[in-house]
Structure 1
């Protein structure tokens, strides 16, 4: 039997089983199977079965979008692998960070490669320009195409070869390098300054009592990173923490819950999920006293802090365990489950529930237009009174660029070089707040 016919048979069997179990309640399941069979058997244009399947899935998800569910998504086989890698924080690559720079935009190496990984062994250096990946020449790159055309091509399977054409900073001619992909772990927890050994300095130069802990997303290893980092910060003299969740789009619910447990007493509700009928599906509560119950804590959020990051900020704010500083968060109060499709090749990311803060509030913003919802007080996580830091779009872009430059510059505390300065109003307010708190603590 050909692969095409086998695929058709499997899809037909799946639909038929669906029809058998739901046919009496919903005849449209049978209609879908009939439509698929008629198109495959009679259509003048021959179309691959996989494309018919993808079209059907994308069409159904598009209907969900029209009814207000903006976050369900069908992820095709070619993109599902990258999605799973981001969540699992583990990729097959060469151990280098890339970013867009210049005008027109070019792809550059951000900071030195990870020590001991293929890029490091091949002699790739900070500020090298990537000109081509295998036979793909990088031209007219945009922020939209960067993820798929560049990052997607850099990744692959462990042991797969990769040829890069690069321009070393200062060289007149490009160089071709042959590399072999290896497993590389992605970090989700960062500090303020990148050190020569590729670790992060978290304590702030203006006050070493305060540590900046930036969480870029909540992945499978985020809690383990925090669990390892926190005692190290305390041993280095940190007495307070700024937990920076700005630009954090969310991630795994379990990782958000575990993060809250670090700072909460036993048996405190972290988050509750409810189905479309409003019935409680699950409740997550702290399972014991966290090790950092008395650690002064600030959480930073902005307009791009969403989902799992809002769970953390909202929970810690509800228990007065932390103050929230910054902008009102994005307002994504729904839960998506990742459902495997095509024997694990593709993924359906489906909204299945809403989540609710310990205070009983759902932070979801239902309006399609963010501007029209600005006067509605019932969505997002709002900073504590007097601790709002509003930024224009231009100011936010400038801050992101400055942060990227600082992140890609090695800081050696033994040298006198200051490196890129960073004006960050939210961090400045957080530091001032924590300094006052620490300075007014009663002496032991």
Structure 2
């Protein structure tokens, strides 16, 4: 019995030896460093050092960042429901979300936010502004704005409510800020942009498909700039396009022989005959690559754009400090349905196997300047539509006739697979591209 206790104590000491050394080091640095330094700062530096040294995707999530991390995943927070940006160094409403307190109060695209709860917003960062506008549901925030074209400012007391973050977006917004999920110049083509994968992404994606039911003959899924999110959301969207029982993705942990295979559970929601194009770029990563790779491997979609980022690892979020902070730790790698590698290792070359890559005829490379212009064009399309008679901004004039080269290639690719446009379709004939659910 004594021997057993001794062995257990030795094992415990072995596990905690480095923790004790780390604790001792924090104490000594706090005591002897040339300037006062908080132990908390040293602890966070140590945590980051340990985790980021493992790989680029592991890390420590501080308490002040953990709540924002949860918002991104849960897609919900207490706020007023307005997208803001900096224009001419002033905080500006890009678009109020329909049905939210900001929209109902009368805030509109182009309004300048002058003050929040009495604090002048001049010099504010976006993080400063968002921090002030968010708060407990049912609480009130006072927002002072100058409406576009009206010199006299106006104050709005707005009661915060539960706000849903939109990860599913259309090709443009209407004048009343509603999403339009069809290409303006050809309504036969549906367009869905996914900015991330959160808890509500699947249901919102399905809802957007239903809005276009019977109206489209081709679909574009835009994953450009989408850095990923919840693996489960990407899997559920894949399930809408492939047959039940087919492999969506496989994951491998520390023991490579223990492979977990994720398969489609339902018949496809989307008609297999509907042509699909997926847009990717160098910022499409992780869950985006799972979706794009799955549809590419089954020949269910054509990939257009540029080679994706190449992130084939899965991170688990492990709460510590009683849920105040967390560790983001790489625990698995993931693999395409074809079994091919998707992860870009540090020594990978362009000739190696990684990421999701379009065929040569569907590759449209952009310079950094072109990418910035596409971003500005997309942001402009995603703000509320211009009201008749309203004066155009300099940016609207500049980008009025702009053509997104990657999106145009996606449209041209789809049209090759779609039936010719028929202007006078016989009465009673309807093309229903969404069958089974």
Name the TM-score class by shorter chain: 0.7 to 0.9
Alignment of 1:4-43 (within 5 A): 23-24=13-14, 27-36=17-26
Deviations 1:35-67 (A, max 9, x none): 456677999987666445433322322433xxx
Q: Confirm whether residue 269 of structure 1 aligns to residue 247 of structure 2.
A: yes
For CA contacts below 8 A with separation 6 or more, give which structure has more relative contact order: 2
- Whether the 8 Å CA contact 2:311–2:344 is kept in 1: the answer is yes
Give me the whole-angstrom Cα distance separating, in 2, the residues matched to 1:120 and 1:405: 18
Alignment of 1:78-157 (within 5 A): 78-102=64-88, 105-111=89-95, 113-134=96-117, 136-140=119-123, 145-146=125-126, 148-157=127-136
Match of 2:5 in 1: none
Q: Secondary structure at 2:136's aligned position in 1?
A: coil
Match of 2:172 in 1: 193
Give me the whole-angstrom Cα distance separating, in 1, the residues matched to 2:143 and 2:325: 29
Give me the whole-angstrom Cα distance separating, in 2, the residues matched to 1:57 and 1:264: 42
Give me the whole-angstrom Cα distance separating, in 1, the residues matched to 2:105 and 2:158: 7
Alignment of 1:277-292 (within 5 A): 277-292=255-270
**Residues 388 and 84 (structure 1 numbering): CA distance in 2 closer, same or farther, change over 3 Å?**
same
Q: Secondary structure at 2:417's aligned position in 1?
A: helix
- The CA deviation at 1:80 is 1.2
- Whether the 8 Å CA contact 1:188–1:216 is kept in 2: the answer is yes
- Whether the 8 Å CA contact 1:133–1:153 is kept in 2: the answer is yes
Q: Which moved more, 1:296-305 or 1:377-386?
A: 377-386
Deviations 1:2-45 (A, max 9, x none): xxxxxxxxxxxxxxxx9986533573133234445667799998
Give me the whole-angstrom Cα distance separating, in 2, the residues matched to 1:412 and 1:270: 44
Match of 2:51 in 1: 61
Give me the whole-angstrom Cα distance separating, in 1, the residues matched to 2:64 and 2:116: 18
- Whether the 8 Å CA contact 2:91–2:122 is kept in 1: the answer is no
Give me the whole-angstrom Cα distance separating, in 1, the residues matched to 2:220 and 2:141: 40
- The CA deviation at 1:331 is 1.3
- Whether the 8 Å CA contact 1:406–1:422 is kept in 2: the answer is no
- The CA deviation at 1:132 is 3.3
- The CA deviation at 1:154 is 2.4
**Residues 208 and 284 (structure 1 numbering): CA distance in 2 closer, same or farther, change over 3 Å?**
same
**Residues 51 and 231 (structure 1 numbering): CA distance in 2 closer, same or farther, change over 3 Å?**
same
- Whether the 8 Å CA contact 1:19–1:27 is kept in 2: the answer is no
- Whether the 8 Å CA contact 2:135–2:160 is kept in 1: the answer is yes
Match of 2:138 in 1: 159
- Whether the 8 Å CA contact 2:167–2:196 is kept in 1: the answer is yes
- The CA deviation at 1:378 is 1.7
Give me the whole-angstrom Cα distance separating, in 2, the residues matched to 1:284 and 1:166: 50
Match of 1:383 in 2: 358
Q: Secondary structure at 1:266's aligned position in 2?
A: coil
Q: Secondary structure at 1:349's aligned position in 2?
A: strand
Deviations 1:415-437 (A, max 9, x none): xx999444111221222222121
**Residues 136 and 356 (structure 1 numbering): CA distance in 2 closer, same or farther, change over 3 Å?**
farther
Q: TM-score, normalised by structure 2?
A: 0.84
Deviations 1:130-178 (A, max 9, x none): 233335543445xxx53x2232332222133323333322333544433
- Whether the 8 Å CA contact 1:108–1:127 is kept in 2: the answer is yes
Match of 1:3 in 2: none
Unaligned runs of 5+ in 1: 1-17
Give me the whole-angstrom Cα distance separating, in 2, the residues matched to 1:412 and 1:173: 20
**Residues 271 and 101 (structure 1 numbering): CA distance in 2 closer, same or farther, change over 3 Å?**
same
Match of 1:234 in 2: 213
**Residues 20 and 406 (structure 1 numbering): CA distance in 2 closer, same or farther, change over 3 Å?**
farther
- Whether the 8 Å CA contact 2:177–2:384 is kept in 1: the answer is no
